[in-house]
Amino acid sequence: MGQITGVGQTSDGEQIRVILKEEVRGRKRELTREEKRNQEKWPSSSQKDFAWAYDATNRFVFEIENYTDSQRRWADTKQRKIEEAIEHIARSILATAAFEKRRGAEREAERRESERLQRLRYQEQQRIERLKRNATAWEEAQRIRVYLAAVEEKAAAREGGLTADKAMSRFLEWGRRYADSLDATGIPASKEWEQDEAVEL
């Protein structure tokens, strides 16, 4: 079957692939001497005592390779040649181009939606991880505050109290500043959500 394949491009930039091919008629023929020798030399269970020959029929088929919701195939018949369907073929090519354009827009919309959902999943995971970090840091800050309170209580009970122990006062002040730096509860939760939502937009 002879075949010609072509690619056309519409004014919208959509590529349409088409094929024009000639149908053939198969018939059995005798093997040539060389074919017989080859069979004898390399025998197989599927070998036959004939070969196929294909003859031209002068009947042609025109096909649109792109998937489309319009007609894609026309063939010569006894009553009609494909040349007589040229207007119908042209309309189908335009319909195929429009279909390809719609599919392209749909694929682009799907890609953007997929990227948006992926971005949201990533942001959600970041929120979860930040929440866990903040909770762990808060627990650590609470432990440090309890410890500092115990240290302060013992220091105050000693003679002269904290007034006489300037180094202890500085240590307690530093320790409380560090505990406060760990504690994210001082940052309004709404502020973090506002930042995340701004990124989503």
Q: What is the pLDDT of residues 77-92, one digit of tens each?
A: 888 999 998 999 989 9
What is the pLDDT at residue 191? 61
Residues 192 and 120 in one domain: yes
Domain limits at 140?
112-200
Among 38, 73, 107, the domain-final residue is 107
Number of domain units in the chain: 2
The torsion defined by the Cα of 179, 181, 184 and 188, in degrees rounded to 10, comes to: 120
Residues 102 and 116 in one domain: no
Q: Is the pLDDT of residue 55 over 80?
A: yes
> Does residue 49 sit in helix, strand or coil?
coil
Give per-residue pLDDT as tens, 10-41: 667 778 899 998 888 888 988 888 888 888 88
**Sheet holding 50-64: strands in order across?**
3-9, 15-30, 50-64, 73-75
Higher pLDDT, 198 or 132: 132
What is the pLDDT at residue 106? 93
Among 107, 127, 151, the domain-final residue is 107
User: Residue 53: pLDDT band by 50, 70, 90 thresholds?
Assistant: confident
User: Among 70-74, 184-188, 196-200, which range has the highest average pLDDT?
Assistant: 70-74
Q: Is the pLDDT of residue 188 over 70?
A: no
Among 107, 137, 155, the domain-final residue is 107
| Alpha carbons 170 and 55: distance in angstroms, whole number | 104
Residues 61 and 28 in one domain: yes
Higher pLDDT, 5 or 153: 153
> Does residue 149 sit in helix, strand or coil?
helix
